[in-house]
Amino acid sequence: MCGISGFIDFNQKSSKDILVHMADALTHRGPDDSGYEFFEENNAQVGFGFRRLSIIDLSAHGHQPMFSEDKNLAIIFNGEIYNFREIRSELESEGYRFVSNSDTEVILQSYQKWGTACVKKFIGMFAIAIYDKINRKIILIRDRPGVKPLMYYWKNGLFLFSSELKSFHRHPDFKKELNFDALSLYLSHGYVSAPYTIFSHTHKLVPGHILILDLKTQNIITEKYWDVNDYYNKPRVKISYNEALEETEKILSSAFQYRMIADVPVGVFLSGGYDSSAVTALLQKNSTRKIKTFTIGFHEQKFNEAEYAKDVAKHLGTDHHEYYCTYKEALDIIPLLPEIYDEPFGDSSAVPTTLVSKIARESVKVALSADGGDEIFAGYPKYIKGIKYYSLLEKIPIPLTRMAGELMRIFKPKERTDYSLPDRYQKLMLVLQNREPLYAFNIATEVFSFSENRKLLNNPGNYLLTPFDENSLLNLNNDTLSRFQATEFKTYMVDDILQKVDRASMSVSLEGREPFLDQRIIEWVATLPSEFKLKNGVGKIILRDIVHKYVPEKMMNRPKMGFMIPVALWFKKELNELLRFYLNKEKIKEQGIFRPEETERILNSYLNQKKMGDFNRIWFLLMFQMWYERWF
CA dist list (Å): 209 to 72, 82, 203, 507: 24, 19, 13, 26
Question: What residues does 320 pair with on adjacent strands?
Answer: 293
Contact residues for 453 (Cβ-Cβ < 8 A; gap 6+): 184, 187, 188, 460, 461
CA dist., res. 389 & res. 111, Å (int)? 49
CB 331 within 8 A of CB 573: no
Phi/psi at 38 (nearest 5 deg)?
-120, 125
Closest CA to 448 of 483, 472, 473, 423: 423
Please give the full DSSP string across 65-118, using - where no structure is assigned.
Answer: SEE-TTS-EEEEEEEEETTHHHHHHHHHTTT---SSS-HHHHHHHHHHHHGGGG
CB 193 within 8 A of CB 185: yes
Host H or E run for residue 154: strand 151-155
Closest CA to 249 of 542, 526, 451, 2: 542
Residue 325 bears catalytic tag: no
For 619, half-sphere exposure in the C-beta direction (CA atoms, 13 angstrom radius) is 26
CB 19 within 8 A of CB 47: yes
Q: Where are the alpha helices (DSSP H) in 362-423?
A: 373-377, 381-394, 398-410
CB 168 within 8 A of CB 201: no
Catalytic annotation, pick one of 2, 313, 504, 575: 2
Phi/psi at 301 (nearest 5 deg)?
-60, -30
Residue 180, phi-psi category: left (phi > 0), alpha (psi -120 to 50), beta (remainder): alpha
Q: Which residues are catalytic?
A: 2
